[in-house]
Amino acid sequence: MKLGTYIVKRLFLMIIVMFGVATIVFFITHVIPADPVGAILGGNAPIELVDQMRHQLGLDKSIPLQFINYMEGIVHGDFGVSLKTNRSVLKDIIDFFPATIELAIVSMIFATIVGVVLGILSAVYRNKVIDHFSRVFSILGVSMPVFWLGLLLLLLFYYRLGWLPGGGRNSLFIFPPHITGLVLLDSVIAGDWTSFWDGLRHIILPAFVLGYASAASIARIMRASMLDVLRQDFIRTAKSKGLSKRVVIYRHAVKNALIPVVTIIGLSFGSLLSGAVLTETIFSWPGLGRYIVNALLVLDYPAVTGGTLFIAFIYSLANLIVDISYAVLDPRMRV
Amino acid sequence: MRGNLLDITKLKVVFYTYRGVIKALNGVELWMNRGERLGIVGETGCGKSVTALSIMGLVEQPGEIVEGKIAFEDKILTSMNGDALNKIRGNDLAMIFQEPVAALNPVMRIGFQIAESISRNKKKNEIKQVYPEVRRMLELVGLDWKRTIDLYPHELSGGMAQRAMIAMALSSKPKLLIADEPTSALDVTIQAQILELLDELVKKFGNAVILITHDMGVAAEFCDKIAVMYAGNMVEYANTTDIFENPIHPYTRGLLRAVPKIGRTDELESIPGVVPDLVDPPPGCRFHPRCKYAMDACKEKFPSLLEVGPEHYVACHLYLKEEMKNAN
Amino acid sequence: MQTEVTTQYLIHVKHLKKYFPTKRGLFSSAKYVKAVDDVSFDIPKNSTFGVVGESGSGKTTLGRTILRLIEPTSGTIRYIETDINSLNSKELRIFRRKMQIVSQDPYNSLHPRKLVKNIIGEGLKIHFQLSSEEIYEKVKDILEQVGLREEHMFRYPHEFSGGQRQRIAVARALVLKPEFLVLDEPTSALDVSVQAVILKMLKDLKRDFSLTYLFITHDLAVIDYMADYVTVMYLGQIMEFGTKDDIFLAPAHPYTFLLLNSIPNPDPRIKKKKVIPMGEIPSPIDPPTGCRFHTRCPYARDICSNVEPEMKEVHKGHFVKCHFPLG
Amino acid sequence: MSEVKGVAQKGRFKLFLERRKPIIEDWKHTFYLWKSTTLAMVGTVIIFVFFGIAIFAPLLTSYDPIAQDLDNRLLPPSSQHLFGTDQYGRDVFSRVIYGSRVELWIIFIVSIISVGIGTLVGIIAGYFGGAVDEVLMRITDMFLAFPRLVLAMAFTASLGPNLTNTIIAISFVDWTVYARLARAEAIKVKSQPYIEAIRGLGAKNTRIMAFHVLPMSISPVIVQLTLRMGTIILTAAGLGFLGLGAQPPIPEWGAIVSDGRSYLVQQWWITTFPGLAIAIVVLGFNLLGDGIRDILDPRLRR
């Protein structure tokens, strides 16, 4: 009951934030650019073409009017037509998004498992070999530029060793079944193991590259959180009850230590989406990140607007889920 | 063994910190019999809690027991390994703490936490089988089990949480219950309730109790015997009435004169100086820099424990000297 | 010729209320924690006015509201003739010189990154145009008054013990030469042997600086040692008020009586049979109707749960808010 | 006469030192903690070397980082060209060395802008609370609803990709971190008894905020800033790599990595060295930031 109210409240807040997000995007795409059309067509374009384009983009109207049109469009899910692909931006997003979300989910799972496990081991065996390893792993993870790591791994595993494919989601002559758009999931549903195996081989490198930084930061926070919890009074109580070390750690400490980590997992999702832009570019992954980058490079404003808004929406949704799971995990939050 | 339940000899505990080694316990001597109620009193940093944690085997990094022996019945706790200790902890030994809400796991229901102390390392579904016993314990400590068994600690008041802790500690019928400042965080009226409850239950179960407190009043009301600690040493040990009516150690006397009491008309007296830094404690008797009777001997050697009356022990050179005189 | 001695009052508090809004649900209306709920009293000049109560009684809020560190919800507070409530923020800042507070926690009441010299000198800088030499001298003098030395001026708070920190906090308040001092549990975080020194010092300072104290504590023994007048609070209201002797020798309110009965006595010869209040302190968000204490009172009758008792004078200067006063 | 005065001066200086002994002790203690934290020291050394390289860049290399030399294209590392040359015959070593100036400049300006705005917003929101807080924090939330790089990308693309706009875009994205942190700190500090005591002395809000809340709130901000300096470089390099940051021929590290992408298989050195430079410097900042956090940790200090 109380949890329900909390969710309603958070949803309400999210709507306000999304309104602000849309305003910021409007500002970026409609107000800041001095002369978008000039930028797109170049300085020497004939005047009729410029006018036609201004009209097409709605730039001949006043800023407030543009804003109203823009907001109306968003509410109806209409982001306009991409200048580059000449298709509805929404259609483009629906096409490109599954690749991104698949990559993000796989990375997230990888990052969470590795991060949490390393963090726990690191805290329990503090100052032992595993702790040192995990700390080096973490500090490197948050220091390495994603794109550089990606390139080096590509060089090693694709060009030099040839163990893994060099990019894309599937090999040339493999056609995965199309149900949800998530290759791995669809292959499992259709029972197409060739396609599954192929998809898995393709996703390993990008998912590792993308998830590494998150795994590192989750491991760091998990370690710190564990150490903090292990110092708490209730852990002493658990020990005084005669519980074995294992029970104390796994039953009493881990759940408490996970609570702050949940926030980090949510925040990691943001850096994951950021990183996806770079990873997708390197691994020719046909996702939304690459779509936005390409749109930005040619100043395809409708595509930029739609893509950015959509990413922000997904990120906010992820944060909402995190906040709710936070409330589920920690009974103190439900007051 | 000086006591048939517990005997601590020359217990030394240190904590390693960046400031240096804190010599928290400096050869503590303490003993008690079955079914007795022993009060340990003293001010912040005197080592009351560390003594309790040592008995429980809960002194952990960066702390370490470097010397001494803790005998519990026929077992030597200080030479036991973790598994063996786990069998005694929560079985023969139980403990309750100062901040009851913080001492309970915030993400577990009260009922489960009590059940866990009965069935301990078993699987979760097996733990649920002891719930009838949990209900009985909750009733016993004056809580309505229907309302409390499924609550989380933060939903309890301090007094209720302490009752739950007591239920948890007593559920395994321990031979010795250690209560570390169990009422310091509570209001006086609630304190009175909790002390009454403890009194009643301990009478019923016949547990021995170590009550750690800084409140002389609480010790006077609850305990049969009192041990006074100062800066890591036990300095005086006697029956409660003896401690209050015939205190011998200069520190015990000073402490009693500093306590405000209703209806007291004389001025409060304070002990000059401050509690020493235990990284670099004074040599000899650690109280000598604050003691108005300090002699040369006090600066050199810690006085050994001396029986000055029936079951009245004190560690002070002043009486050692008199004893010598009498002997001569 | 003897003129009639009339008591002079320094502080007048009338119908003071402080309600804190609690967090409101999306669809539920706002609720309030009634921390101080219609409290009136006068503090005689040069007296120690003790306020005693358990947690949730509103004693701390009361102290802060009187100084307007918290804005009162309603009611008036007068300082001799000045209505503190009607001062604007600039006037209030100037007026603050006269009334100071020493709070409970000696570990957090001093700015951890400032030298003692600056902690104590801050008030002087705010209120007076003084050269740094003058400030130095004044800080030095006041430190000596509270039993510290000049060399302590160049240290950080963390280098001091709890008792010494509390001395510094007192010095910070006294350097402005105030007339009125709110002491909010000044010794509850200290060990007994240290508490004794601080309490004695506070008594001496009161005499030397002719101060008036509002002394807030949960410890009845301390209030017995310090106070001239005692106010017993429960759930935001005054239950009983009188001189120290009234309260300790002839308590008229059952709550006061039970409170006195609950204190463990450091004298093992006295083994009294205790009467202890039942149950726990109710939430100040939904205080009980009628007499607020009726839920825990062993003497409660039907009327107590419905009708709120009036404050009545059982004998001169001794007031009690109870339908059936004891004694 | 003057001699006597000199002695008096000296005495005064001694007294000055004597009185400030605790402050000096405090610094000594900080220094001791820093020395005993090996990783923090490694971090400090890395950062100092990085600063040194940026300042003395012209002394460290004789090649012009921008001048093309098509006769010497794509040469592997040698004693002539430590890190080899790129597709235009530019010395990669020289480009990496001069690149440090670009990165340092970005860090410097972004830090000032984002910490300035963030701390100001955060402290005002935290100190006053209520409606002010609500409005400022909702605005912050709006910025936080974007994945950082995506927002920065949109900004630079819109403003026109160049170095200045990269800096503006990153600052625009980064200030929210400090705003949240400073707010949380301000709320914590505001409710401390010592702040109430100062208010009780009669101090104004502005005085309390500037002299008491700000200094207490700033240290976590500084720690965060040190930790985030690495992130700033990563973001700048990411933008550069995508072609949305500093434009050629400016030797920005991310852009250099991007330059070498097409030559990855045969001429690995073009990508490897600038990437390594980024990783090492970011590592340095992270180690230093962790170290500072540990040193400022009151649990360690007390």
Query: What pTM value is reported for the model?
Result: 0.86
Per-residue pLDDT tens, chain C, 327 aa: give them.
444 556 789 999 999 999 998 765 545 567 888 999 999 999 999 999 999 999 889 999 999 999 999 999 999 999 988 999 899 989 999 999 999 999 888 888 998 888 899 999 999 999 998 998 999 999 999 999 999 988 889 888 888 888 999 999 999 999 999 999 999 999 988 888 889 999 999 999 999 999 999 999 999 999 999 999 999 999 999 999 999 999 999 999 999 999 998 888 888 777 666 777 888 889 888 899 999 999 999 888 999 999 999 999 998 999 999 999 987
Secondary structure class of A61 (helix, strand, coil) = coil
pLDDT for the residue numbered C2:
46
DSSP letter, residue B125: H
Shortest alpha-carbon distance between residue B18 and chain D (Å): 8
Identify the closest residue of chain B to D36 by CA–CA distance.
B18
Mean pLDDT, all residues of chain D: 85
Q: What is chain C's mean pLDDT, rounded?
A: 89
Which of A192-201, B222-231, D47-56 is least confident? A192-201
pLDDT at D4 over 80: no
Using CB atoms, which residue from D26, D200, D302 is nearest to C101? D200
The nearest CA of chain C is from the CA of A6 a distance in Å of 8
Verify whether the Cβ–Cβ distance C27 to A5 is below 8 Å.
yes
- Interchain contact A253–B (C-beta under 8 A): no
For A327, which residue in chain B has the nearest alpha carbon? B107
Residue contact B188–C263, C-beta within 8 A: yes
Whether D202 sits inside 8 A of C158 (CB atoms) is no
Dist CA B217 CA B237 (whole Å): 17
- On whether residue A60 sits in a domain, the answer given is no
Distance, CA of A79 to CA of B110 (rounded, Å): 53
Write down the pLDDT at residue D299. 53
Mutation site, B59, B88, B89, B121, interface A, largest A CB count within 10 A: B121
**Chain B residues lying within 8 Å of D300, measured CB to CB:** 18
pLDDT of residue B119: 85
Half-sphere exposure of B209 (CA within 13 A, CB side): 28
Beta carbons of B195 and C264 less than 8 Å apart: yes
Residue A266 lies in a domain: yes
Query: Of D192, D194, D198, D299, which to mutate for an interface test with C (greatest number of C Cβ within 10 Å)?
Result: D194
Task: Give chain B's mean pLDDT.
Answer: 90
Q: Per the domain annotation, does A65 fall within a domain?
A: no
| pLDDT value for C117 | 92
Burial of D106: CB neighbours in 10 Å, binned 0-12, 13-18, 19+? buried
Give the closest-approach CA distance of D202 to chain C in angstroms: 4
ipTM of the shown complex? 0.84
Q: Could you tell me if D296 lies within 8 Å of chain C, comparing CB atoms?
A: no
Q: Which residues in chain A are closer than 8 Å to D254, comparing Cβ atoms?
A: 145, 147
Judged against a pLDDT cut of 80, whether residue A174 lies above it is answered with no
Residue A172 scores a pLDDT above 90: no
8 Å CB contact of A145 and D157:
no
Chains near A with 3+ CB pairs less than 8 A apart are B, C, D
**Which residues of chain B carry a pLDDT beneath 70?**
1, 321-328
Q: Is the peptide bond before D249 cis (omega within 30 degrees of 0)?
A: yes
Distance from CA of A28 to the nearest CA of D (A): 6
Q: Do D202 and C96 touch (CB under 8 A)?
A: yes
CATH number at A233 reads: 1.10.3720.10
pLDDT at D1: 41
Which A residues, 242 through 281, put their C-beta within 8 Å of a C-beta on chain D? Answer: 270-275, 277-278, 281
Strand partners of residue D182: none
Which chain D residues are Cβ-neighbours of B18 within 8 angstroms?
33, 36, 300
DSSP code for C101: E
Domain extent listing, chain D: 39-301
* Residue B97 near chain A (CB below 8 Å): yes
Q: List A residues 30-59 in contact with D (Cβ-Cβ < 8 A).
A: 32-33, 39
Pick the CATH number of D39-301 from 1.10.645.10, 3.90.100.10, 1.10.3720.10, 3.30.750.24: 1.10.3720.10
User: Among A141-150, C199-208, D71-80, D252-261, which is the least confidently predicted range?
Assistant: D71-80
Q: Which of A239, A243, A245 faces B58 most closely, judged by CB atoms?
A: A239
Secondary structure of chain D in HEC code, one letter for each residue? CHHHHHHHHHHHHHHHHHHCHHHHHHHHHHHHHHHHCHHHHHHHHHHHHHHHHHHCHHHHCCCCCCCCCHHHCCCCCCCCCCCCECCCCCEHHHHHHHHHHHHHHHHHHHHHHHHHHHHHHHHHHHHHCHHHHHHHHHHHHHHHCCCHHHHHHHHHHHHCCCHHHHHHHHHHHHHHHHHHHHHHHHHHHHCCHHHHHHHHHCCCHHHHHHHHHHHHHHHHHHHHHHHHHHHHHHHHHHHHHHCCCCCCCCCCHHHHHHHHHHHCCCCCHHHHHHHHHHHHHHHHHHHHHHHHHHHHCHHHHC
Any chain D CB within 8 A of the CB of B18? yes
Per-residue pLDDT tens over the stretch C49-90: 999 999 889 999 999 999 999 999 999 999 988 999 899 989
B150 vs A35 pLDDT, higher one = B150
Say if strands C212-217 and C48-52 run parallel, antiparallel, or are unpaired: parallel
- Determine the pLDDT at residue A42: 67
> How many domains would you assign to chain A?
1
Following CA atoms D149, D150, D155, D157 in sequence, which dihedral angle do they give, to the nearest 10 degrees? 100
What was the pLDDT predicted at A269? 84
Q: Do C193 and B267 touch (CB under 8 A)?
A: no
The reply to whether A329 touches chain B by the CB within 8 Å rule is: yes
pLDDT-based confidence at D102, cuts 50/70/90? Answer: very high
Read off the pLDDT of residues A200-228 as tens digits, 9 standing for 90 and up: 999 999 999 999 999 999 998 999 899 99
Close Cβ partners of A57 (under 8 Å, ≥ 6 residues apart): A36, A37, A80, A301, A302
Q: At residue A43, does pLDDT exceed 70?
A: no
Nearest to A247 among B94, B97, B121 (CB): B121
- What pLDDT, on a 0 to 100 scale, did the predictor assign at position C271? 64
pLDDT (0 to 100) of residue D7: 46
- Which residue range forms the structural domain that includes residue A118? 89-334
Instruction: Answer whether A242 sits within 8 Å of B120, measured CB to CB.
Output: yes
Question: What pLDDT, on a 0 to 100 scale, did the predictor assign at position A171?
Answer: 79
Q: What three-state secondary structure class fits C76?
A: strand
